[in-house]
Structure 1
Amino acid sequence: MRKTIIALGSLAVLITLVAFTVSDQTSSADQDNQKQESKSVSDNGEKSKQLVIDNLSEAHDSIAATTLNQTFESNGERLNHDMIQDMLKDTKENLNKIVYDGEKEDKLQNAIDLTEKAINQDNPPEPDDRVYLNEIHQIVHELLEHFNGEAEDIEVDITGDPISAEK
């Protein structure tokens, strides 16, 4: 009887040790999974940030062209209302692709709203009278700066060709 009790006690101790070992391994695996998920979220955060920067850069190129601060294809034609409308629609499309709910969310929404107003203007503004366009352009620069993105302005003529500084 005594040997049976010792055997059962030993078996209980052995089962407890196995249970702790399995539990510890499961806990380690859970921690590894959490680290992996955390890393994945971080990676997705970086991918998401890069996607925002890419869309802002595209929006910048379109809106900057409307203010003669970026080259554009015009086949030698002067920038006209139809071209501006197309550029504004591209700008709006790129801004609408951005999913962001941080501290600059209001700025982003303001840029989208102003782009919509510019699209809906009855009379096409003259090149020097592009209030919405200049404001949108400035906001996009601010957003790019916030996300550590970059966009270079290039002064161009009314046909989209760069203006040489050496003239």
Structure 2
Amino acid sequence: MNKRAVIFLLLFAIAASGIYLLFRRDFASGPKLGAFAPDFTLKDAKQQDVPLASLRGKVVLLNFWATWCGPCQEEMPSLEALYQRYKDKGFVVVGVSLDEEGWPAIEAFTRRIPVSFPILLDAQQATSDLYQVYRIPETYLIDPTGKIVDKFVGPQNYDKEIFYRKVERYLPSS
């Protein structure tokens, strides 16, 4: 191999590694697995304050999303199905909307794609900053003690056996 080819391959490897690390940061950023989920308080559709700490004792699937996000729209029906499956067993899905347009955008969205789980508004994106959310959808699974036990970046199909097992592992015993 000539010198020019070796230099090209070396530069290509460095560039590829840099690009990989740049896009990989969403998995490495934010609260770490095993850490307590940072607490926050956001308003629901009735303008009531909902602190994350008020959900202690339940398994929480905390989903950061927005109405304009295509992948978020794709996963909403499966989030709703998972919520319906376990909502009476100590499980809750909490959607944190990053919509700057506020409740009118969310209400229009939920007329089109109905969901019954709680949605909170983070229009100023203070909570998404706290969680270092760089790409949506981004979702955290939080156990009943408030610890983060899993994280999912990008759209998922939550209505599957693998997610049932993840949730069931942390459900409070009856």
Q: Same fold (TM over 0.5)?
A: no
Q: Which has the larger radius of gyration?
A: 1
TM superposition score normalised by structure 1: 0.32
Higher strand share: 2
Higher helix share: 1
TM superposition score normalised by structure 2: 0.31
